Structure 1
């Protein structure tokens, strides 16, 4: 039987190769087709081998998908992939409403930002090297190990360490999920399923704090992590039972040789050296202390080393050539700054509602639901009319402008703000974020060649995550410094009461203070929250200004959109 492989839809399109197949042998006994492809840039004898089921290849030509899979199996696998996306996304934000309780239990308010930033420190892209199934299984199992350890943590240091392990598994899950979707669904169905995944990602990012609030009030904050175990098992089962993809035969030694070890190491260390002084500055150490200055200098040096190392790497995780594209650099900047402002709002709004408004953890999560509503409406709406409008920039401009307006309005929130103000301000922020996330990624894909669509997609998410980590660390430092200054202005008799209740170590203790003292302390807190939003506002405005510099981009056709999954 002659093996006919569609160049438009098959997985082989994403593997470096020459246009012609060097050899093709079919085993009549096994029904397998072995395809040997020359590797681009190497000798003719160098090749890569793939194995397919002959019936699958014949069927894929009819369906336009990379592998043959029954509709029922595809849907069940998709449910598992959606669950993986939910875990990765909500895992980063579910502790937003639980942070006050966690910090209070461990008496470590100054360290609570690390519970959030530790999850955002890691980044990896190995699915092209080791295969989809192996990498998604590794990611989920690692995520579950980190979740189990964080759920059983007895100290803040232990919790932060396991959050980093959890982040190692969670990082990159979305990219792997999108890759698999492009492999298993026909061309005409891929945009629909990818849109669902992006919706799950956005909704779970905001709904995570609501779940965290429910766990804190009804059971314990530890369920913010332990809930991932049964959900992870469902994902693993669906992957094991239904994920059948073509595989690349390659020796482990060759696979390991393709990893950009130096680049990965420099990225992680550089981010840590940047986050540490931002978090410690003004609290643990003075801003002009040698420790802070040295860490900032080391971070700059490491970033320089990273740029040099990536220019020499064979398969760089951050290819420098992308940054020479002005439009791509601008879109990376928009993603980075959006992450800073978005996660700053996500993490500090629930704390505002709990401390200043005096609501419970669950209610503070419910207060974020307007952001979910705005995000869903704008995300679906922009996707529906994008092809008709014909220009990505309109949605990016609209989104960045609405985030800036929403953050500016959040500066007006105080102890007397009514429900209408709270809902309206967060609704505007949600609308803005919904316009930005997916549209920004599509614009970045439109600005590069097909060969770079995969890596530019991954880097868009990476920039957003790193921006979020730095944003949370920055807000934490500003919060602790400003609150400390406000406390120093309080009368001595008030400070004595605060010491008795350990308010400097436990946010939840504010609600236990005597009424006359509580009023003064809450005023100090909402003044600090207003200060935080004042600091986020310039970042949101800079995002809007940056978006205005993006040039007009063509709308991708469906055959190009599928390449985004890498």
Structure 2
């Protein structure tokens, strides 16, 4: 092959002057696709391209037209060694952003107890998910406008600033605010990392490095709850956030030293005009107006109170305004045309419902293990391992099996059924449930979710044209995450309402003992109650957890029903797969 290229190069050099006009014609055709042309001319272009690509040495000076063809077959834009060292930093960024979403699960009960703010506990997660969801779709556009390097450094610094503030928080309100800042940074880390990988690695090597990123997500999901439990018991829950600071330095250093991608700036007014400011603002406001009544309903306010009703009405009005704004936007964050595609809308719905169920289980299972089973924070993290391992195993297995079972729907059907069965079985968990039941039920839930998430993303990509794949991939992640935020808020409201109604049935003497141990503010204090009162309280908690799983099960069932209407889709060509929905 190399000898053939060298021979043809020599012939071209010898006849360079004679073929000058012909070469200029071919260069014109390479810049602007020709319409028509004789078969002989088309055949002559093939060896010409084979010779020019290996001989190109000025990769850093790729022009704007060539940048548009990166997804087809990009040339390397930085040195091999620099690319590998940069990838280490990118993998660290992915690890941090993914870890931050799970490490808080086992630490949350202790945080709520320390700040005596159990009613606000869900907002520690919800505030993070809110900013993560609102800004994730924009980071891709911002990186095109302002450059990859600037935006990933902005995301890294923002994430580290949020981590430092959360680690030093003096109250629940301050913690929630800095968690929102963390979410703003994390959304950029997760989005831009995969964009940069597409820039620096050629197509044939890209799946290898993308699979490493997926593995990092899986590892952080397993390590997160366990590490959170270790910090709570051995040091302090504040290290759940402070650990991001030294690790974040690795990402910043690798980006500063090794990320040098070609970038052509536009006029500032043109750049800013491409940002959908109104769409982003209304997404944030709309989501808040949806989350607030779900969180406050039945606890801070009655469901029939004017405040709750007014917030739901405002949310409905804002959704209508948001649809109108996005229909007029030049580059909409959520393009309305995608929702005209029935299959895409169904997949968004499945992702949304899966997120609701998944986050509800992963945030309330540790509380079950700590209150009902008397497990410490570290042990409760270990109890989550079956579900997370099931998720990772199913995600990898579905990717491998898809090459043989060439129908996305099969995996979504099986996954939603398994999730429904798993959450249904979790209703059987009580104070006497053995380790086998705990592991088995959560493993089934994890396997189901693992089959759904990755396959839904690939199916959504297959349902749209190539130019919409990046947008639809980001929206799959958006709907999954926003579903998780609403799921947590919903479960929190249901949990508090059911628990309060259970305690209301106790005699005044029992309530006096409970008040003495401050159970309302500290969940872990349940273990310190007198044995007879503890048995009564634990029984109420058991029934409350069973009620939560009873509510999550039909959500999984609805996801299955939606998936039945998904039409059979074409299989993606490898060059079309965009691994961007984490």
Is the TM-score greater than 0.5? yes
- Mapped to 1, the partners of 2:544 and 2:579 lie a distance apart of 45
Which of 60, 64, 70 does residue 79 from structure 2 map onto? 70
1:389 — aligned with what?
A: 405
- Mapped to 1, the partners of 2:32 and 2:222 lie a distance apart of 45
Q: Deviations over 1:140-194 (max 9, x none)?
A: 1111111110110101111111111111111243221111111111211212222
- Mapped to 2, the partners of 1:114 and 1:565 lie a distance apart of 24
1:277 — aligned with what?
A: 293
TM-superposed deviation, 1:546? 0.9
Which of 94, 98, 118 does residue 89 from structure 1 map onto? 98
Which of 192, 211, 232 does residue 195 from structure 1 map onto? 211
- Bigger drift between 379-388 and 458-467 goes to 379-388
2:25 — aligned with what?
A: none
- Mapped to 2, the partners of 1:31 and 1:307 lie a distance apart of 42
- Bigger drift between 173-182 and 338-347 goes to 173-182
1:531 — aligned with what?
A: 547
2:123 — aligned with what?
A: 114
Q: Deviations over 1:280-315 (max 9, x none)?
A: 000000111111011111111111111000000011
TM-superposed deviation, 1:563? 8.1
| Closer, same or farther: CA 562–529 of 1 in aligned 2, 3 Å | closer
Q: Deviations over 1:449-502 (max 9, x none)?
A: 111001101100000110000000000000000001111111211110111111
- Mapped to 1, the partners of 2:235 and 2:163 lie a distance apart of 17
| Closer, same or farther: CA 31–219 of 1 in aligned 2, 3 Å | closer
2:3 — aligned with what?
A: none
- Mapped to 2, the partners of 1:565 and 1:278 lie a distance apart of 26
- Mapped to 1, the partners of 2:460 and 2:321 lie a distance apart of 25
- Mapped to 2, the partners of 1:255 and 1:85 lie a distance apart of 27
Residues 402, 408 of structure 2: 8 Å contact kept: yes
Residues 453, 564 of structure 1: 8 Å contact kept: no
1:426 — aligned with what?
A: 442
Residues 207, 372 of structure 1: 8 Å contact kept: no
| Closer, same or farther: CA 19–134 of 1 in aligned 2, 3 Å | farther
TM-superposed deviation, 1:383? 1.1
Residues 274, 296 of structure 1: 8 Å contact kept: yes
How big is the alpha-carbon RMSD for the aligned residues of Structure 1 and Structure 2?
2.4
1:301 — aligned with what?
A: 317
Residues 88, 174 of structure 1: 8 Å contact kept: yes
- Mapped to 1, the partners of 2:548 and 2:264 lie a distance apart of 50
Q: Does residue 151 in structure 1 map to residue 167 in structure 2?
A: yes
Which of 140, 152, 160 does residue 156 from structure 2 map onto? 140
1:186 — aligned with what?
A: 202
- Mapped to 2, the partners of 1:167 and 1:206 lie a distance apart of 20
TM-score scaled to structure 2, two decimals? 0.86
Pick the structure with greater CA Rg: 2
- Mapped to 1, the partners of 2:580 and 2:111 lie a distance apart of 38
Which of 448, 452, 464 does residue 480 from structure 2 map onto? 464
Residues 430, 542 of structure 2: 8 Å contact kept: yes
Residues 182, 565 of structure 1: 8 Å contact kept: no
1:304 match: secondary structure: helix
- Mapped to 2, the partners of 1:86 and 1:510 lie a distance apart of 35
TM-superposed deviation, 1:436? 1.3
Q: Does residue 168 in structure 1 map to residue 205 in structure 2?
A: no
TM-superposed deviation, 1:255? 1.7
| Closer, same or farther: CA 253–18 of 1 in aligned 2, 3 Å | farther
Give matches, 1:493-532, under 5 Å. 493-532=509-548
Residues 149, 159 of structure 1: 8 Å contact kept: yes
Residues 462, 570 of structure 2: 8 Å contact kept: yes
- Mapped to 2, the partners of 1:432 and 1:82 lie a distance apart of 26
| Closer, same or farther: CA 296–471 of 1 in aligned 2, 3 Å | same
- Mapped to 1, the partners of 2:422 and 2:544 lie a distance apart of 18
- Bigger drift between 175-184 and 275-284 goes to 175-184
TM-superposed deviation, 1:202? 3.8
- Mapped to 1, the partners of 2:357 and 2:407 lie a distance apart of 25
2:63 — aligned with what?
A: 35
Count of equivalent residues: 524
Give matches, 1:173-322, under 5 Å. 173-322=189-338
1:249 match: secondary structure: coil
- Mapped to 1, the partners of 2:63 and 2:477 lie a distance apart of 34
**Long gaps (5+) in structure 1:** 3-16, 21-29, 38-48, 52-56
- Mapped to 2, the partners of 1:271 and 1:304 lie a distance apart of 13
Residues 127, 135 of structure 1: 8 Å contact kept: yes
Residues 190, 562 of structure 1: 8 Å contact kept: no
- Mapped to 1, the partners of 2:445 and 2:257 lie a distance apart of 40
**Long gaps (5+) in structure 2:** 1-12, 17-30, 35-57
- Bigger drift between 89-98 and 409-418 goes to 89-98
- Mapped to 2, the partners of 1:215 and 1:254 lie a distance apart of 48
TM-superposed deviation, 1:404? 0.8
2:349 match: secondary structure: helix
- Mapped to 2, the partners of 1:302 and 1:163 lie a distance apart of 25
Give matches, 1:405-484, under 5 Å. 405-484=421-500
TM-superposed deviation, 1:267? 0.3
Residues 446, 555 of structure 1: 8 Å contact kept: yes
TM-superposed deviation, 1:83? 1.6
